[in-house]
Amino acid sequence: MDDPDVEVTLGTWADVGAAHEHALVVLAMGIPCEVTEDPELLGFSVAVERKHAEAVLMEWQLYDEEARATAHPKPVLENRMQPLHLDVAGVWLFALLVVFFRQGRDPTLTERFCNSSTAMMLRGEWWRPFTSLFLHRDADHLLGNALLGGVFCVLVAQVAGAMRGWTLILACGTIANALNAALRMPDEFRSLGASTATFAALGILVGHATRRAWMIRSFQGFRMLFAPLIAGGIMLGWFGGGTSTGNTDVVGHALGWLVGLLAGVFLTHPIKDTPSYS
C-alpha cells in the first residue's frame, strides 16, 4: 500500500518561474511542497505528499484554465525619440528676447498685451492670453522662464515632435491663461510671463508618460513619471509657491499644468506610441 506521506512529483516545467508559480498555488492551499531542479528532464519539479496529489492537480487545472482565459498580449511601445529640435527652441528664445527689448522701448506694450480678465471678458481682447506668454516683468523673470521652460519645452518636442509639441505648449498656455482670467471675474486680474506655458510643458510630459504606462498595463511604466514629478515639485517650490511681493500666479501655474496633463494624455500619442505585440 502506498504511503500517503511520501512525496511525489506532480509536474515539471522548463522555466523555474513557472515552477515557482505553481508552487505558490500549492502553498495557497495550505499544503507544503518542494521545488527541485530535475537534471534528467532539464526542468524544475514540484513535489507534494501523495495524499494531497489529487487536490493539487485539480487546483492546478483550474489555475491554468483561468490563466489561459485571462491572458492577453501586452503591447510593447516603441520608444523612438524625436530630435531635440534646438533650432525651434532657439526661435522661441529669440522671440522672448525681442519682445522683452521692445517692452523696454515701449512701456505701453505690457499694458496692451498682458493677460487681463476685464479686457478679455468685457472688451473682447481674446489675444491677450496668448500674447502675455511672451511678456516678462524684468530680466530675472525672463531668465528663469527661458532656462527652465526651455528644458521642458525641448523635452516635449522630443516626445511629440517639433510642430505638435510646440503647438501644444503654446495652446495649453493660452487656454490656461484664458481660464485663469475668466475665473477671476468680476475682479480685475492681470498676468504675464511664459511660466504658464512652462507648467503646461511639464504637464504634457507627465500626461504622455501616464498614457504610456497605462497602455503597457504595468505599474513599472509609472517609473517614467518620477522625473517630471520631481522636477515639477522643484519648479512649484521655486516659481509656484508665491513670493513676499505676491507676484507669483499660483493659479495660472496649476491651470497650465492641468491643461498640459490632459493634452499629454490625449494628444501626444499619435507621434510616439506605436503599439506592437510580443
| One-letter identity of residue 1 | M
Please determine, for residue 270, whether its predicted confidence score (pLDDT) is greater than 60.
no
Average pLDDT score over residue span 96-110:
93
**Residue 100 pLDDT class (50, 70, 90 cuts):** very high
Q: Which three cell numbers stand for residue 174?
A: 493660452
Please determine, for residue 200, whether its predicted confidence score (pLDDT) is greater than 90.
yes
pLDDT at 71: 57
Please determine, for residue 278, whether its predicted confidence score (pLDDT) is greater than 50.
no
Chain mean position to CA 217: 14
Higher pLDDT, 196 or 63: 196
Residue showing cell 513557472: 18
Please determine, for residue 81, whether its predicted confidence score (pLDDT) is greater than 70.
no
Q: How many CB atoms lie within 10 A of CB 87?
A: 9
- Tell me the per-residue pLDDT of 122-181, one tens digit each, with 9 for 90 and over: 999 999 999 999 999 999 889 988 887 888 899 898 888 889 999 999 999 999 999 999
- Tell me the per-residue pLDDT of 203-236, one tens digit each, with 9 for 90 and over: 898 888 777 766 665 444 455 555 555 655 666 5
pTM over 0.85: no
pLDDT at 40: 66
- Domains of the chain plus CATH, in order, are 7-71 (3.30.70.1530), 86-277 (1.20.1540.10)
E strands within the chain? 7-13, 34-38, 43-49, 75-77, 115-116, 190-191, 275-277
Average pLDDT score over residue span 3-20:
80
pLDDT at 80: 56
Whole-angstrom CA distances from 254 to 245, 259, 274 are 19, 9, 31
